[in-house]
Amino acid sequence: MSGQTGIAFIGTGFVADYYMTTLANHPQLRLTGVWDIDRARLRQFSDYWKVHAYSSAEEALADPAVAIVVNLTPPESHHAVNRAALLAGKHVYCEKPLAMTVDEARELVGLAAEKGLILAGAPANALSDARAHCADILASGVIGTPRLAYAEMEDGPVFHDKWQEWRSRSGAKWPAVHEFEIGCTLEHAGYAASWLVSLFGPVANVAAFSALTFPDKGPGTETLTLGPDFSVGCLTFRSGLVARLTSGLAAPRDRSLTITGDKGTIVVRDLWDNRSPIHVELAGARRPLFHRLIERLEWQFQRKFPFRLTAGKPVAYASAAAKNILPAYPSQIDFVRGIAAQADAIRSGSTPFFSGETALHLTDIVLALNAGKRDHTPVGL
């Protein structure tokens, strides 16, 4: 296809298969090749997906067909890979976070600006159909001025499951031990923070607490130093809204967002679902028992009925886009949508929302939540 934007993956671990699954949704992108420091994993990935494997990271960065380097390496490598790609003159799309410290992230954002490049960051779930629909509901004024939000990023007590057996489509092991070491907040808080910042603007203050509540996550973790498996933060937005953001790997799974305004409440069922059902309830409205029972069943069994509830009346849910290919539950996110938005912005000479100072702002928020900072003013924006 003429006019495609060339992209290259650095890192072919577990998450890379999610990107490959959703790449077909965006024909304006062309994957030129992939690279991974683990040669066996690189071969497994490239053989499964029938994609070119670079002989080295240097070869990938020197490829003139590559406009955007997609950094899918472990978080500890993000700064080094991002920096090398920017110095090679490539735009960068990085899995969360941009770096492991705010100073490193700020350095990268400055380097990208200096070179006239776009440094964008995951996650892409805040570019979802559900988020667009939620923004439309807020803009309609049906719930009045939003005052309070509860964002949940509880992924459930996965350490009780058979995580040693989990594999991606192409055969990568789920990096459980590494995820337990780095902590659920760095891995997951961005999924909620990106929604909140895109809907309500910059955060003025973070007041957070984090803890390791289950130090033994199973065989192979007994002697490790594990990261927090629980964090809670209160975010005060410059717009006046206040939000609570909870992340965890212990409590029952809940990835919902509740927004309460003067006139009613919006509930987004699952921030990891590109087409999550959204329920709107006006203050003082009493939904019929039938509708309440349907909603409860939908929530419990992860069913997707095509309606939202507004003042107890079913209203058609109109998705903004045709159905795309998505990974299987629970990660029903169009992972490549962020790269596509970046490529479109490069073509038009604009700036994608989740890049530059916004990406830095989100990185600082997540790092503050993970560290349990009690009184923190995020940088950026």
Compute CA 37 distance to the chain's CA centroid, rounded to the nearest angstrom.
24
Q: What is the pLDDT of residues 5-60, one digit of tens each?
A: 999 999 999 999 999 999 999 999 999 999 999 999 999 999 999 999 999 999 99
CA distance 282 to 92: 43
Residue 359 identity (one-letter amino acid) = A
User: 115 falls in which pLDDT band (50, 70, 90)?
Assistant: very high
pLDDT at position 300 is: 46
User: 286 falls in which pLDDT band (50, 70, 90)?
Assistant: low
CA distance 53 to 181: 30
Using an 8 Å Cβ cutoff, are 40 and 13 in contact?
no
Task: Kindly report the average pLDDT of the chain as a whole number.
Answer: 90
pLDDT at position 304 is: 40
Q: Which residue has the higher pLDDT, 93 or 183?
A: 93
Q: Which residue has the higher pLDDT, 292 or 16?
A: 16
- Res. 322: pLDDT tops 80: no
Locate tokens 């939908």: which residue?
298
pLDDT at position 218 is: 84
User: 324 falls in which pLDDT band (50, 70, 90)?
Assistant: confident
The class of domain 5-125+335-348 in CATH terms is alpha beta
Q: Which tokens is 72 given?
A: 């899918």
- Residue 360 contacts by C-beta under 8 Å, 6 or more apart in sequence? 98, 102, 105, 106, 109, 379, 380
**DSSP code, position 246:** E
Predicted TM-score (pTM) of the model is 0.90
Please state, in angstroms and as integers, the Cα–Cα distance from residue 126 to each residue in 165, 271, 291, 296, following that order: 30, 8, 28, 25
Helix (H) or strand (E) holding 283: none
Compute CA 328 distance to the chain's CA centroid, rounded to the nearest angstrom.
16
**DSSP code, position 271:** T
Positive or negative, the Cα torsion across 21, 26, 29, 30? positive
pLDDT at position 176 is: 86
What three-state secondary structure class fits 205? strand
- Res. 301: pLDDT tops 50: no
Percentage of the residues of the chain whose pLDDT score is greater than 90: 77
Percentage of the residues of the chain whose pLDDT score is greater than 70: 89
- Sketch the domain layout of the chain as residue ranges: 5-125+335-348, 126-322+357-371
- Res. 167: pLDDT tops 60: yes
Q: What is the pLDDT of residues 84-104, one digit of tens each?
A: 999 999 999 999 999 999 999
CA distance 228 to 188: 12
pLDDT at position 380 is: 80
Q: Which residue has the higher pLDDT, 247 or 302?
A: 247
* Ramachandran assignment for 265, one of left (phi > 0), alpha (psi -120 to 50 degrees), beta (any other): beta
Average pLDDT over residues 324-337: 85
Using an 8 Å Cβ cutoff, are 131 and 125 in contact?
yes
Using an 8 Å Cβ cutoff, are 68 and 39 in contact?
no
CA distance 354 to 217: 33
Q: What are phi and psi of 150, to 5 degrees?
A: -115, 120
User: 293 falls in which pLDDT band (50, 70, 90)?
Assistant: low
pLDDT at position 39 is: 97
pLDDT at position 284 is: 72
User: 312 falls in which pLDDT band (50, 70, 90)?
Assistant: very low
What three-state secondary structure class fits 242? strand
Using an 8 Å Cβ cutoff, are 46 and 52 in contact?
yes
Q: What is the pLDDT of residues 196-224, one digit of tens each?
A: 999 999 999 999 999 999 998 888 788 88
User: 327 falls in which pLDDT band (50, 70, 90)?
Assistant: confident
Please state, in angstroms and as integers, the Cα–Cα distance from residue 219 to each residue in 164, 174, 329, following that order: 9, 15, 26
CATH number given to 126-322+357-371: 3.30.360.10
Nearest to 7 by CA among 54, 70, 55: 70
Helix (H) or strand (E) holding 187: helix 184-200
Please provide the DSSP assignment of 120-136 as one string. EE---GGGSHHHHHHHH
Using an 8 Å Cβ cutoff, are 173 and 14 in contact?
yes
